[in-house]
Amino acid sequence: MKKYLVLFAITGLVAAACGGSEEKKEEKAAETTPAVAPVADLSSNPDYTKGLELVGKSDCLTCHKINDKLIGPSYKDVANKYEATEENISMLAGKIIKGGKGVWGEVPMTPHPQVSEEDAKAMVKYVLLLK
């Protein structure tokens, strides 16, 4: 008889521990779910669309990827390092046109003298949106 009583008590405790009202579950979920900022839709941003088009037509993706370091830094690493100020946009556009070395390691960035300053700035604005 004691075995049945103990078994019944354990079963009751397990059921009570696993159960609970839906209201309590919802409250707990609300407490533990972190707030997530909505991701902006960049496809309607003219800087994004123009820069994406220019990068797609160039050889940038030979050395750079959006999320991963390849030969050069990822676009996200660049975006996280530099604010989108006119000074930074001009400086980075100059790196696209003239090339550069030393900021992200010893492998030099190939110069692209055929890229206009306007296009280089558009490419930089695109990259800096990818935070």
- Domains identified in the chain and CATH numbers: 2-32 (no CATH), 43-128 (1.10.760.10)
- pLDDT at residue 96 above 60? yes
- pLDDT at residue 39 above 50? no
- What is the dihedral angle through the alpha carbons of 63, 75, 114, 95, rounded to the nearest 10 degrees? -100
Q: Give the residue from 51, 63, 66 showing the smallest Cα distance to 104.
A: 63
- CA dist 85 and 101 (Å) reads 21
Confidence class for position 102, pLDDT limits 50, 70, 90? confident
| Cα distance from N-terminal residue to C-terminal residue, the chain | 67
> Tens digit of pLDDT for each residue in 13-31?
444 445 555 554 444 444 4
DSSP-based three-state secondary structure for 109: strand
Helix, strand, coil percent content, the chain, rounded in steps of 5: 60, 0, 40
Percent of the chain with pLDDT over 70: 69
Confidence class for position 40, pLDDT limits 50, 70, 90? low
* Residue length of the chain: 131
Confidence class for position 79, pLDDT limits 50, 70, 90? very high
17 DSSP assignment: H
Percent of the chain with pLDDT over 90: 61
- pLDDT at residue 78 above 80? yes
The predicted structure's pLDDT at residue 14:
46
